[in-house]
Amino acid sequence: MQQGSETIAAESFCAVEGVRHVYKGGTVALDGVDLRIGTGLFGLLGPNGAGKSTLMRILCTLLVPTEGRAAVGGYDVVTQRDAVRSLIGYLPQEFGAWRLHRVAEVLDTLASLSGMWDKGERRLRVEQVLEQVGLAEVSDRKVKKLSGGMLRRLGVAQALVHEPRFLIVDEPTVGLDPEERLRFRAVMAELAKDRTIILSTHIVADLGSGCEDLALIDRGKVVFRGSPSELLQRSRGRVVEVEVEQSGEMAVLELIEVVARSAHGGRVHIRGVLKGEGAVSGSMPVADPTLEEAYLAFMVGRGREIVLEGAEVAHA
């Protein structure tokens, strides 16, 4: 695959071709996935169970696909695992090891394991990475004393310590408070300036403003590939607002997937996504839907029930 992968790598740092994966028992996690990913922050969106984590594990060389092929930096993820691993940093969904160690000690140990033998070089690299992720002031703190947000940023730091060109981040903000979510997005946007980052999430807001390319995956298939603006364009006319008497609310809820709701003086103001093609009497289309609402509109159109987590919508 190396010759073909080199051709692919000239256009994109990560390439996935016809990848299919079936777990024991017959569960199809991925079903013919094709992707080309270049430098910058790439968003991989989809509901839980869509196949995102399976794809991430394949790219990290932790899982061999049933069919198809994938390459990172021109190297095959199955036949050239060591070369791929030298290029990638991985932040899994759960990162909570090393609880009794100090923050700097964790990174120093991992840097040593990655082949950075010079102690002075490691110290400088650890300091640099901690500064990048905003943990320089807690370098002497034990891991068990870190907040949830700090722990996630330590996870990013351990993925960066060997200076990878390709970073994979899986469901990064689950359980974080709004302030830590914002801080994490800022870190991702800064890091994506000179490397490829795949951010796999079911929370649309995780992508932040730094994402210019994304794919939606559902039931193991890529069902949308394009820019956030293209996804927004597809939602035009699907996101609406309507105000009704409280007595008429239930009838409206049959037709709209609610994003925001407020009640005042016996009337209810509802903002949401149309479930079908029919119009709702008295509703008006929202001029500027959010990316979260665009994602919801797309998935509702596929007959999926989606709960927006961490959504940033204009509440009524």
How many C-alpha atoms does 166 have within 13 Å on its Cβ side?
21
pLDDT at 24 over 90: yes
178-191 and 148-160 helices, crossing angle to 10°? 10
pLDDT at residue 277, rounded to an integer: 80
Bigger pLDDT: 96 vs 241: 241
Model confidence at 307, pLDDT cuts 50, 70, 90, reads low
Pair of tokens at residue 66: 């049933």
Average pLDDT estimate for 189-217: 88
pLDDT at 65 over 60: yes
Where exactly are the structural domains of the chain? 2-227, 232-301
pLDDT at 96 over 80: no
pLDDT at 9 over 50: no
d(CA 166, CA 72): 8
Q: Give Dmax (Cα) for the chain.
A: 72
Instruction: Give backbone dihedrals phi and psi of 249, rounded to 5 degrees, phi first.
Output: -65, -45
pLDDT at residue 265, rounded to an integer: 87
User: Domain spanning 2-227: which CATH class is it, in words?
Assistant: alpha beta
* Tokens 């000239």 sit on residue: 10
pLDDT at 279 over 90: no
pLDDT at residue 157, rounded to an integer: 86
Taking the alpha carbons at both ends of the chain, their separation in whole angstroms is: 54
pLDDT at residue 187, rounded to an integer: 81
Average pLDDT estimate for 217-240: 94
Model confidence at 225, pLDDT cuts 50, 70, 90, reads very high
d(CA 257, CA 252): 9
Bigger pLDDT: 178 vs 59: 59
**Cβ(185)–Cβ(108) under 8 Å?**
no
For the chain, what percent of residues have pLDDT higher than 70? 91
**Cβ(16)–Cβ(35) under 8 Å?**
yes
pLDDT at residue 29, rounded to an integer: 97
Pairing of strands 196-201, 166-170: parallel
Model confidence at 309, pLDDT cuts 50, 70, 90, reads low
Pair of tokens at residue 153: 């940023």
Q: Helix (H, G, I), strand (E, B), or coil: what is residue 139?
A: coil
pLDDT at residue 161, rounded to an integer: 85
Average pLDDT estimate for 125-150: 90
44-48, 92-96, 143-147, 272-276: range with lowest mean pLDDT: 92-96
pLDDT in tens, 154-194: 888 888 888 888 999 888 777 777 887 888 888 888 888 88
**Cβ(15)–Cβ(9) under 8 Å?**
yes
